[in-house]
Amino acid sequence: MNITKSSGYNPRGQEMRWNGVAQEDPMGCGIACVAFICEVPYKSGKCLFDRHDGTKPDCFCPDIVDALQKGGRAYDWRRLSGKRTRFVDGSIVFIRRSRSFPVGHFLARRKGEWMDPWFNLDASCPDIGRAKAGFRKKLPGKASYYIFPIKPD
């Protein structure tokens, strides 16, 4: 599969800010986070998954790690205990179920902020067709799983 960055070529070598990736499926937050980390559009990120299609809550940390690997990224994951964790840029977290997120939610970290693939999710925007990605300074819930980049040996 040939996946290219959609952010384009930058002849000056300056880092370009990659915009957030909105989820296009009701349960596509994991797909959107993978696409964001790999700097590809949502549909290209979706192609990196073997079985998850964003329609059911069946995307788990090993699925995301496998998709990231297919996208050329080395990642691992772990369940979080009650200890405070310092999240690194390029990581993805799963926040546990809550009233705001009935099935939980994945978010990706970049430049000290959290990219939320359905930033405008609330009672006023229950329609996935109007979902927009956005950035948050803080997580909107308690993280229970942590997917993080690993350094090559």
- pTM summary value: 0.84
Residue 150, pLDDT above cutoff 80: yes
Specify the DSSP class assigned to residue 54: S
The model's confidence at residue 122, banded by pLDDT at 50, 70 and 90, is low
Specify the DSSP class assigned to residue 73: -
| Amino acid present at 83 | K
**What is the token pair recorded at 38?**
């790999």
- Would you state the pLDDT for residue 5? 37
Class of domain 29-149 (CATH, top level): alpha beta
The model's confidence at residue 131, banded by pLDDT at 50, 70 and 90, is confident
Residue in the structure block whose two tokens are 């050329």: 72
Residue in the structure block whose two tokens are 């956005």: 134
- Spell out a b/e string for 99-123, using b for 16 or more CB atoms within 10 Å of the CB, else e: eebeebbbbbbbeebbbbbbbebee
What are 21-77's pLDDT values in tens digits?
999 998 899 999 999 999 999 999 999 999 888 878 888 999 999 999 999 999 999
**What values do phi and psi take at 95, rounded to 5?**
-95, 140
Rg, Å, the chain Cα set = 15
